[in-house]
């Protein structure tokens, strides 16, 4: 399958690997798209796993509804359920990075019957994140989340000068030049950046639906070079998982783990799925 539909929206999806393999859903973050998994997915295929990597709401050109309420967490998780239904899957292993990780946490808490295993990359459980915002330096690290909720200002700042500020942000994080070019180009499409920022602007709505304890086997990957997400929330995440839990720390890697530590990520995900 190369696409699926929900509520009049069409989502692009990259379905690859053995068709009879264990299904693994790969969820990207901001400001990425499904190509974030370009180096991870082939390694998973070599281990007999099937991958389904959608361009999520706001990133697929035909799935960019207007209005921040359309990007609340209940909607973004429902999109993944629609993907599973379209693929004829009762459940799948779910791997998410950045905002995709938040969706993965919510799926593991709200729909454990649809999630075989959960792998959250970079982002802690939302409950642990909320605690860290008042007990550590996490609020300072997350200053941009408030900025991104402002109307129009982030678009003007990030896209000025042919996307110079967005480019600097991604380059500073150590992303390869080809990935930086790809993501900046995608965010310059009409309405793309505003739609991607809708995830941040919907936080007041998403906060009304707390993500409770997760009851599926969980792997959590975090990197010491992550400038956005600190250690406190990472260490507190285990208390929000009522099942097998493993934390794997990658030394010296920045936030962009799928692109910068693809081989190790694939190795850990494969072991988690097989276990």
Instruction: Catalogue the active-site residues.
Output: 98, 200, 255
The CA angle 218-215-19, to the nearest 5 degrees, is 60
Report residue 82: phi and psi, to 5°. Answer: -65, -35
Helices and strands: H and E segment counts in the chain: 13, 8
Residue ranges with strand state E in the chain? 3-6, 9-16, 22-27, 49-54, 92-97, 115-121, 218-223, 245-250
| Residue 46 CB-half CA count within 13 A | 10
Comparing CA positions, the residue from 123, 111, 38 lying closest to residue 78 is 111
Question: CA 198, CA 162: separation in Å to the nearest integer?
Answer: 21
């Amino acid at each position: 399958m190369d696409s699926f539909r929900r509520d009049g929206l069409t989502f692009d999806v990259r379905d690859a690997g053995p068709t009879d393999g264990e299904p693994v859903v790969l969820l990207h973050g901001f400001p990425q798209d499904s190509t974030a998994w370009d180096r991870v997915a082939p390694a998973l295929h070599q281990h007999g796993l099937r991958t389904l990597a959608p361009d999520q709401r706001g990133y697929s050109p035909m799935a960019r509804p207007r209005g921040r309420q359309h990007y609340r967490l209940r909607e973004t998780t429902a999109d993944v359920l629609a993907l599973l239904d379209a693929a004829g899957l009762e459940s799948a292993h779910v791997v998410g990075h950045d905002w995709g990780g938040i969706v993965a946490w919510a799926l593991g808490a709200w729909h454990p019957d649809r999630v075989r295993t959960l792998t959250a990359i970079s982002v802690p459980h939302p409950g642990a994140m909320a605690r860290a915002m008042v007990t550590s330096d996490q609020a300072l690290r997350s200053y941009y989340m408030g900025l991104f909720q402002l109307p129009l200002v982030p678009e003007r700042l990030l896209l000025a000068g042919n996307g110079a500020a967005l480019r600097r942000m991604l380059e500073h994080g150590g992303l390869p030049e080809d990935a930086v070019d790809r993501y900046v180009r995608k965010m310059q499409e009409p309405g793309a950046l505003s739609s991607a920022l809708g995830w941040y602007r919907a936080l007041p709505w998403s906060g009304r639906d707390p993500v409770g304890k997760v009851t599926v086997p969980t792997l959590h990957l975090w990197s010491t070079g992550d400038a956005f997400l600190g250690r406190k929330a990472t260490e507190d995440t285990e208390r929000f998982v009522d099942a097998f839990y493993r934390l794997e720390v990658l030394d010296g890697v920045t936030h962009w783990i799928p692109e910068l530590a693809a081989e190790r990520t694939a190795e850990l995900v494969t072991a988690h799925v097989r276990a």
